[in-house]
Amino acid sequence: MATERLGSILKQLSPSKSGASTYTQKNPDDIVITLAIRTPLCKAGKGGLKDTGLDLMVLTIIKDALRLSKLNPELIEDVCLGNVSNGRAASIARAASLAAGIPTTSAASAVNRFCSSGLKAVQDIANQIVVGSIECGLAIGAESMSEGGDRLEKPFTDAILAHPDGRDCMQPMGQTSENVGRDFNITRELQDRFAAESYQRAEKAQKSGWFDDEIVPFRAKVKDPKTGEEKEVTLTKDEGPRWGTTFEVLQKVRPAFKQFGDKSTGGNSSQVTDGAAAILMMKRSKAQELGQPILGKFVAATVAGVPPRIMGIGPSVAIPKLLTRLNLDIHQDIEIIEINEAFASMAVYCKDILKIDHEKLNVRGGAIALGHPLGATGARQIVTGLSECRRQRKQILLTSMCIGTGQGMAGLFVNEQL
């Protein structure tokens, strides 16, 4: 007994071999996640959520969060919605919160940092809890791409267009993908091989039921485009994975952005998708007081910028920035990584430049196979990543994504369900 006690003391005094141990310790002020859920991801314009507006999607996932957490709605002091395309997002966040049963004494807002909006919403709620503005908040990422995208239809003022980088913010995402492929020699073959792996991993995960604890079934009304007949369906699975997809199949797909290049295709780019995710957060002490299950904790998130014309490489600067500040090593400390596969060009570049072990990157496939509902992805990655950490009994999760106009964002989380 004395030997064990001495060993314990010596272990505490000895410097840790891994910086991760700093963040796996449990403290009352930790910002913890007590619920992490998402809808199925559905094909925009033709899938199960094509006739479900953003407002109903947000209302439904807030109701699901309240129902599954069994939390008194009066305890949720703020709701933050990450969304890209809907100009009414702030109004929807507030109205849907109230309709779901959260009282008028709470608040709601919307944030938009393009493809990182879901993670930005999580960071916003976490930061408010850290500084004592609120005790409990709900972060949501949601997008109905069936309702429209975020492409800039009108040019900026001449004063902005006169600046090269300002002008480059007008470039369509497909053009930026071709820029990355051309500038860094990410060949069509490399991109198609990566995409095939994404599809095959998603197929394996779907067949194995790995997504089941992430997804909350969604009851939706779907209209037949030919007859106009409306029927109610219960959505339970992601619609993006195409079972049986191979490299050879993808090689036959035509380039999607011929005016800009010949490497990016509909087969090796993220799918246009509808979906939502929700993350419930509070301090560890509050979760323990309320008897809430602790799934994991939010450690930190940061952003960084890159030239707009190669916006896809954003994770390659955001990830090192975050890990340097946290004194973590991507090879020794990080166990599961989710990088948004906006395009295979940027995913291959980031994987290679950061020397990421592909075995721990997007284990269940990524946006190429699952889809990329713009505002939802940053939150969806957390839901998926924590679920994969539970399955593998891993602790340290890193998420990241590129961001239109030349940015990257990254977040670090700890799974506590071992």
Catalytic residue ranges: 115, 372, 402
Nearest-angstrom CA–CA distance, 164 and 149: 25
Q: Can you list the positions of beta strands (E) in 123-208?
A: 136-144
Neighbouring CB atoms inside 10 A of 249's CB total 15
DSSP code string of 43-101: ETTTSTTTT--HHHHHHHHHHHHHHHHT--GGG--EEEEE-SS-TTHHHHHHHHHHHHT
Owner of token pair 């509909």: 266
With CA atoms as reference, report the closest residue to 43 among 222, 261, 297: 222
With CA atoms as reference, report the closest residue to 150 among 238, 94, 82: 82
Nearest-angstrom CA–CA distance, 141 and 249: 33
Give the rounded distance of the alpha carbon of 335 from its chain centre. Answer: 17
Owner of token pair 């891993």: 394
Q: Terminal CA-to-CA distance of the chain, rounded, Å? A: 27
